[in-house]
Structure 1
């Protein structure tokens, strides 16, 4: 399964300068000139419309402006401007957002071409989800968004939200024959489940954020705080043998920057970010570590 690294344009470090990264996703709202020159990256480039940021910040963005950026920048895939519903939205509000996402895709597809990929959103009203899935079956590829609140956060989501989200994703896989990308689900706790479900790709931008908070990501999921500074959340320190397990995983999978691992991981944000990026890219074949995700993984395998 392909894991796409989400990254700010001016990101430090740049993992692709150290090892192979199959694809990089950047935000259209950050683009001013040539993103490849800024990234120093010649590989597969994906551009996200910035729909989530637009929603969170209450911005108003002209669809023609997004189209202009997409026409100007040479990329392999452009995500349509979507309007994600939240788990708390009542069905009538959610349906307006589904319809706006569909309308944006139709318009951008006409302006830019078939490399614009629509986004279908996970939502608690299964009937609404299915109606819009039927409208996207002719798309050349399909992204599924809004799964993070149901699977990785769950606060405010309906009971059984993880199972619901995975059920909807499985329905898409059964009905849709093209490539499927799950937005924002590149956590090592989840990627093994998606791989078993025959999902083609997903992405993660948290490799840098977790490193900035002093954390390393473990193969199979979970994170550990490894610096000496105090933190307000996610204080779990490595248990006996966990850093050795991480080191052994990096060594076994060919991580190219292993020198002084135990000291650098504690003092260097950039080094932690490289380690986290590698784990995100390489651990989708590892069974999940957290118990709840392990159960979901076993269910996916049995089906």
Structure 2
């Protein structure tokens, strides 16, 4: 399974200049000129519509403007303009948002072409999920969105939401045979589970954010604060042997810049960001570290094994 790196156009560092990355995802609302030239990147490029940011900032950017941006950008995939339902939304409002996302996809696909990827949203009513899953059967690729509140945040959602959302993703994999992407789920705690489910790709932008807060990501999930700065949350420091484990993981997977590792992760944002990007990309087969995610991983691995033995 591949992890695509979400990146601002002006981002430093640029991991693709140091090691291979499966793909880079950029935001349509940032594009002012040729993004490939700005990034210095010739690989697989994805463009996100910026739907979440549009809603969060109260911006007015309609589907016709997104289509105009997409037509002038050389990319492999363009994510449709979606309107994700919140877990707290009543069913009628969720239905309205999911219908609008579907209509946006139809319009963008007609205007831009088959490289436009629709977004199917996780929601607490499985019947709504199933309804729109059936409408996207002929899409060349499919993205699953709105899973993050259920899987990675879990505040304000019912107990058991983590497994519930993963079951919906499993259902999408069973019914949809094309390339399947899960948006925003590139955490090393989750990617091994997605790989078991047969998901083709996911993405992550946290590699830079965590580095900016002075943190490194560990293989299998978890983050450790490694600088001397004062932080208000996520203060966990490395436990005995964890940094050595991280360095060993990097070395075994071919990380190209190990000289001065222990000092550089403490003092350099750019170095931490490169380490985090590498960990995100390479952790898809590393069992989750946390108890909760490891239990899910083991449970799903057993189910997958039993299903394979019955075939």
The two structures share one fold, judged by TM-score above 0.5 = yes
Quick check: 1:87–1:158 contact (8 Å CA) kept in 2?
Answer: no
Matched, 1:189 2:189: yes
Quick check: 1:28–1:50 contact (8 Å CA) kept in 2?
Answer: yes
Matched, 1:110 2:110: yes
Structure 2 equivalent of residue 289 of structure 1: 289
Which secondary structure does the structure 1 equivalent of 2:55 belong to? helix
Structure 1 equivalent of residue 121 of structure 2: 121
Structure 1 equivalent of residue 16 of structure 2: 16
Structure 2 equivalent of residue 177 of structure 1: 177
The correspondence of residues 1-303 of structure 1 with structure 2, limited to 5 A, is: 1-303=1-303
**How far is the alpha carbon of 1:62 from its aligned partner?**
2.0
Which secondary structure does the structure 1 equivalent of 2:283 belong to? helix
Quick check: 1:121–1:146 contact (8 Å CA) kept in 2?
Answer: yes
Which secondary structure does the structure 1 equivalent of 2:84 belong to? coil
**How far is the alpha carbon of 1:175 from its aligned partner?**
0.6
**How far is the alpha carbon of 1:89 from its aligned partner?**
0.6
Kindly provide the CA deviation profile for residues 126-178 of structure 1, in whole angstroms up to 9, marking residues without a partner as x: 11111111111111100000000000000011211101100100100011010
Which secondary structure does the structure 1 equivalent of 2:143 belong to? strand
Aligned length: 303
Cα distance in 1 for residues equivalent to 2:149 and 2:55? 15
What TM-score, normalized by structure 2, do the two folds share? 0.97
Which structure 2 segments of 5+ residues have no match?
Answer: 304-311
**How far is the alpha carbon of 1:208 from its aligned partner?**
0.1
Which secondary structure does the structure 1 equivalent of 2:61 belong to? coil
Cα distance in 1 for residues equivalent to 2:297 and 2:52? 28
Kindly provide the CA deviation profile for residues 224-282 of structure 1, in whole angstroms up to 9, marking residues without a partner as x: 00000110000000000000000000011110010100000000000000000000000
After TM superposition, what 4+ stretches of structure 1 lie above 3 angstroms from structure 2? none
Which structure 1 segments of 5+ residues have no match?
Answer: none
